[in-house]
């Protein structure tokens, strides 16, 4: 059996120009399947508020919810890196942030994901000093849906605004973040960020020049209800079963086939 995936594994993959394939999961059955077919990382996303709980946004998700689903995923996996979202208002103060991060790590997460930009630097430093690895989610951050006025592509401003976006990515890296997720940003900007930082950059709706990709499992399997995101692809359309569909997703990410132009914002 191969060595379990770790943050160091993902860093080495970036350095060797090997694409990273990641996906969300929320329960033991799917997590175990994804682990078996060789996914590099699993995110227990606060997207569970929409795809599992039926809410219209991620905002109702609590830390208790995240702990419960993180425990379920962690019990079923042994080979993949496990990330867990810090949900809405879980980082309101340093004390609250550390307590909530500790709960997720004890539940089985190996890294926590927080949404925002350079203003998170103090939080990132505090977490890293206490042995909590951090992934930062930039671009379209769903917890800020009401600030953005909806789910809109980010980073389409002028050259100065785009440079500021790159500088924010570099700032969170300097603060100690070890992974970056870019959601719904123009492909060229995502490519520039990927080249500007040393840590792995995972994209979702950010083109195929990032170091890897992540999809919500429901999007990858064609069971999303309502609006289908532009960046989604139903891999079950090209595969006979779920295992084969996820293997196909991994292969197409590794080969740079997915995402294609039709899944990309310019």
- Cα–Cα distance, 113 to 86 (Å, whole number): 6
Nearest to residue 230, comparing CAs of 203, 210, 259, 255?
259
Neighbours of 68 (CB within 10 A): 15
Count how many Cα atoms sit within 13 Å of the Cα of residue 35 in the half-sphere of its side chain.
23
Element (H, E) at 28: helix 28-37
Is 189 within 8 Å of 183 (Cβ atoms)? no
Active site residue 183: yes
Which of these is catalytic: 183, 191, 238, 251?
Answer: 183
Catalytic (active-site) positions: 183
């Amino acid at each position: 059996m191969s060595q379990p995936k770790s943050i160091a594994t993902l860093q080495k993959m970036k350095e060797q120009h090997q694409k990273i394939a990641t996906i969300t999961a929320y329960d033991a059955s799917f997590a175990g399947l994804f682990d078996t077919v060789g996914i590099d990382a699993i995110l227990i996303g606060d997207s569970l508020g929409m795809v599992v709980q039926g809410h219209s946004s991620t905002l109702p998700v609590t830390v208790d919810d995240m702990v419960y689903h993180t425990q379920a995923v962690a019990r079923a996996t042994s080979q993949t890196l496990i990330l867990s979202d810090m949900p809405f208002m879980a980082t309101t103060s340093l004390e609250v942030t550390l307590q909530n991060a500790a709960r997720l790590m004890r539940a089985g997460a190996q890294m926590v994901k927080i949404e925002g930009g350079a203003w998170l630097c103090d939080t990132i430093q505090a977490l890293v000093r206490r042995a909590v690895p951090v992934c930062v989610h930039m671009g379209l951050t769903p917890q800020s849906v009401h600030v953005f006025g909806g789910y809109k592509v980010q980073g389409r401003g002028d050259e100065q605004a785009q440079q500021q976006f790159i500088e924010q990515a570099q700032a969170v890296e300097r603060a100690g973040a070890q992974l970056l997720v870019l959601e719904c940003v123009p492909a060229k900007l995502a490519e520039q960020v990927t080249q500007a930082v040393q840590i792995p950059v995972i994209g979702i709706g950010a083109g195929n020049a990032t170091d890897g990709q992540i999809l919500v499992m429901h999007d990858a399997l064609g069971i999303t209800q309502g609006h289908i995101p532009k960046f989604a692809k139903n891999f079950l359309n090209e595969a006979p079963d779920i295992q084969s569909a996820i293997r196909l997703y991994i292969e197409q990410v590794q080969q740079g086939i997915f995402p294609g132009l039709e899944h990309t914002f310019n």
